[in-house]
Amino acid sequence: MQQNKKQVLFLCTHNSARSQMAEGLLNNLATDTYFAQSAGTEKTHVRPLAIQAMSNINMDISTHSSKTLDEFLDTSFDYVITVCDSANEACPYFRNAKTRLHWSFQDPSKATGSEAEQLAFYCTVRDQIRERIEKELLQ
């Protein structure tokens, strides 16, 4: 049951890559103890390379959708974690968060080069997010 789990909201600007991967990672790594969701300051779409980067480690986020922060304003969270600097600036305070954290990761959607090079960058950011989750939430 979700109410027995720690509630986490990952925030990014577009809710298209970093926050989506963070949601998928935490929900897969800590199914029994955490329930993660994600949102953005703007609603767009989940980037195909984010879906592929997660698929490469057998985690499926293909059914995720981009959501705005407004959908969660009345929801209480144990953690609200911004994963990009602009979301951190746009949302310096979240009234229903017990703990507010900021984890700065590079924007994989800014990757250049071939599709393989771009995917490699998404995978690098995914792995950095996973490392942070394991170090700070799953200790």
- Catalytic residue, chosen from 84, 111, 119, 123, is 84
Q: How far apart are CA 53 and CA 76, in angstroms?
A: 30
91 has catalytic annotation: yes
- Catalytic residue, chosen from 59, 90, 91, 101, is 91
Q: How far apart are CA 13 and CA 41, in angstroms?
A: 5
57-66 long-range contacts (CB < 8 A, ≥24 apart) are: 57/126, 59/24, 59/25, 59/28, 60/24, 61/20, 61/21, 61/23, 61/24, 64/20, 64/23, 64/24, 64/38, 66/14, 66/15, 66/16, 66/20, 66/40
- Catalytic residue, chosen from 12, 17, 54, 69, is 12
123 has catalytic annotation: no
Q: How far apart are CA 59 and CA 28, in angstroms?
A: 7
Residues forming the active site: 12, 84, 91
